Amino acid sequence: MPSRRLSITADVVEEAVQLAIRGCDGIQDYCDVIQPYWVLRVRGHSASWLVKTRARTVKIGSAMPPGKATKIPESRRRIEAGERYLGLREAQKAARAEWAKLDGRPRTPAAPESPGWTWGKLCEEYRTHLGEMREDASGKPIYPSTETQNDVRLLFARPEVAEHEDRLLSELDEDWFEGVQAKLHAREKGGYTAYRKFRAYGQAALTWAATYRRKESGLDGRRWWLLAEKRLRTDKEMRQKVARRAELKEKKKNFRVEHLGQLLAEHERFCASRAGNARVSPSVRWGLWWDALTGHRRGSGTWIALEDIEFKDPRGEPGWGLATWRAEIMKTHDDFALPVPPLGIHIIDCCMRDWKKAASERKDGLDRTSKWVFASRVMSIGDVAVSGSALANHLRSLRGLRQGNHRDVLRGIPPFSMHIIRSTLGDYILDHTPLGTASLVIGHEIAGDRRDELDRVGQTGEIWYFQAQRIPEKTAAMKAWSDALLRAYFAAGGRYPD
């Protein structure tokens, strides 16, 4: 069978697994478009993850879930000692690590070694560094950020940058850096943003190499990249920036709590109308409620583990719980706690109930569990929480912007995004609670909402609860917000969600 070049997704993995269960005549390779070296190969009754370069092919694991392997007749199973099962995201990460070892190039031991790194080698080493846990200048831990890693990967893959991957760092200078900046800035769409990211990440990568890998990289001299001239937005770019800010400000002003109530009412009606393969997953349905209640960023709100929920907070009000987002999830890299009102506890209970029911109804009949409250139902990618992209796609479905959803059920509701919901919460609390509380609840300082002194204390016991996290103040704010949210929801014709 011919190879297929495509984006390896959960659906592709499922297709490959089903092909392996039926049995494949010959070899079928699914080659990823973003990571060209990453391959999912089906051969006979096996489905394997590979890393392929021009010189070598390395198997990194099996794509066949143990539960699916039992469907293959025992006489035809291909079991290899030491081979481990990898979900989609685990395999993607393992492929990057293996490719970094192989360097993505054929090995030629007979060729003399080049003096120092090439630009391409620097990009690979810096990306590996960003994927590891590290510390800042003060010793505070910095957790790997998926968003940052994707930003760097996409930036270094741009043609204006990637065309220099074979050049030695010792041959480069500030004129070269300025030349790349200029080419990126000249891009028709997003030029200034591309330039700004290259300046930030390019200089950071070079500084890291000169500081920690001086001998290997060959950067043993002046730090020329810091001398490169900066660039300014053009008149056209400045006008576009001002227009975008004005548009965003208008969107924030127009989207209020009553509109959020309408959104949730339409969301519930939409979810109730879907059935079969078109039904909305429990974690998306309840995840939208959770993000609306907590005001978290789209990417981190639903990344909350079951072990980090106190369903009954012994120090809080009756019926209230406590949720703690771990430092590795938060943008600030600090633990963040939020009191959970009865509505929030109800959301968690309902999501876990519905997710377990949906998992038990799957065709494979496996007893699935997850450590996440809002777990993804696509288990082939591993045990992960539902993503912010899934919630954004759900909003597009409500707007009738996705295939199979021809009707806009949110007509009449002003334009908004998940981040604007966060702003709506912050603005409401700012108007209805004492100064400083809104910034505490959303974990981000709001202009005009700063207190003169915010205690910085150790994150232990009562001091952490009352002073570092200010739970009593957050509780008052969350009570005002949850009451307002339900009032708006009921006013829009909604019934208490169940």
Domain chopping of the chain, boundaries? 4-87, 119-232, 257-491
CB-based contacts of 298, cutoff 8 Å, min separation 6: 291, 388, 391, 392, 418, 419
The sign of the CA dihedral 470, 475, 481, 482 is positive
- CATH architecture of the domain 257-491 equals Orthogonal Bundle (1.10)
Cα–Cα distances (Å) from 356 to 368, 386, 391, in that order, read: 7, 14, 20
Which residue in 166, 387, 406 sits closest to 270, CA to CA? 406
The class level of CATH for 4-87 reads alpha beta
Q: Which helix (H) or strand (E) holds 472?
A: helix 471-491
The secondary structure of 118-179 as a DSSP string is BHHHHHHHHHHHHTS-EE-TTS-EE---HHHHHHHHHHHTSHHHHTTTTSBGGG--HHHHHH
Tens-binned pLDDT, residue by residue, of the chain (498 aa): 567 888 899 889 999 988 888 888 888 999 998 888 899 999 888 899 999 887 788 999 999 887 666 666 654 555 444 568 898 988 988 888 888 777 545 444 434 444 699 999 999 999 999 999 888 878 888 888 888 898 999 999 999 999 999 999 999 999 999 999 999 999 989 999 999 999 999 999 999 999 999 999 999 888 999 999 999 999 999 999 999 999 999 998 999 999 999 999 999 999 999 888 888 999 999 999 999 999 887 778 888 999 999 999 988 889 999 999 888 877 777 788 899 999 999 999 999 999 988 887 775 545 678 899 999 877 666 788 888 888 989 999 999 888 766 789 999 899 988 888 888 887 887 777 656 566 666 555 544 444 443 444 344 456 655 556 778 888 888 999 999 999 999 999 999 999
